[in-house]
Structure 1
C-alpha cells in the first residue's frame, strides 16, 4: 500500500512555462500562466506524449492536480497543429560508445566517435527506444539521435549496434 495521497485533477488545460527542470534527477517546476503557485513536474508525465524533454522557458499545456505536497502536473497535452513547444535544437544522428551507465540513478553518457561533448542518456529514453537492457551497458556501441538540451547534448532515441 502506498503512503502517497492520490492526486485528483483540479484544473485542466492550463498554460504553463517550465521554470526549472533537472534532467538527471527527472523533476522540476512549472509556472502556470494564470499566476497560481508553481507546480511540481516529474519526468514520468512525458511517457505518453511526443515530448522527449523539458527545457527552461518551454511553454506547455497541462492538467494540474493537488498532490500531497502542493500543485503538480498530472498530464501534458500534445501541441495543436502549428503550435508547440519551443524548439531546442535540430536533431543529429551520431555513433558512439556508452562510457557511463548508472541504472540505479537512471542515466548515463555516450561518447561520440566523432568527438565533442558526451551525450546524456536517460532510462526513459531507452525504454521508448525499446533497448534490451541485457544487451546494454558500458562499452556498448550505439547510434543516437541527439539534440541540444539545457546542459549539453541529449539523446532522443538510441539503437544498439552489433
Structure 2
C-alpha cells in the first residue's frame, strides 16, 4: 500500500510541476506577444488582433494552473493572526482543521467547475470578442486546479499527522 501511495504522490508532484512549467511557458508567450505588439505599434504596423484576449485567457489559466504548485511550496497567502495566538499543540490542530476545510471547499468547487465545463462543452458555447473561442477551452483549468488543490490539502493533513507538524505551525 505504501508503494502505491508513493507512486500516486510522485504522479501528483509530477503533474503539478508540469502545470507550473506550462504556466511559465504561457507567461513567456504573453510577454513576447505583448512586446511584439508594442514594437509593432511603435513601428507603425498597427494592432495585432487577439493579444488582449489571449493575455486575459492566459492570466486566468496561469492563476489556476500554478495554484497547486504554489500550495505545495507553501508560497500561498496565509493569515496567521489567530494561529500565532494559540499554544503550539492547538496550532497544529487548527492547521489540520484549516486544511480539511480547504480540501472540502476545493472538492465542491471542482465538482461545480466540472459540471460547468461539461455543460459548456455539450452546448458548444462560444465566447465572442476579438477571438471567437469555445467557452470550454477556458473552463478545463478550474476542475483540474481545484481537484489538485484538494489533493494538496489532503497531503498537508497526511504529512502533518505523519511528521507531527502542519504548515500552520509557526517556528519558535
Relative to the length of structure 2, the TM-score reads 0.20
Q: Write 1 or 2 for the structure with the bigger share of strand.
A: 1
Of structures 1 and 2, the larger Rg is shown by 2
Higher relative contact order, structure no. (Cα contacts within 8 Å, ≥ 6 residues apart)? 2
Relative to the length of structure 1, the TM-score reads 0.21
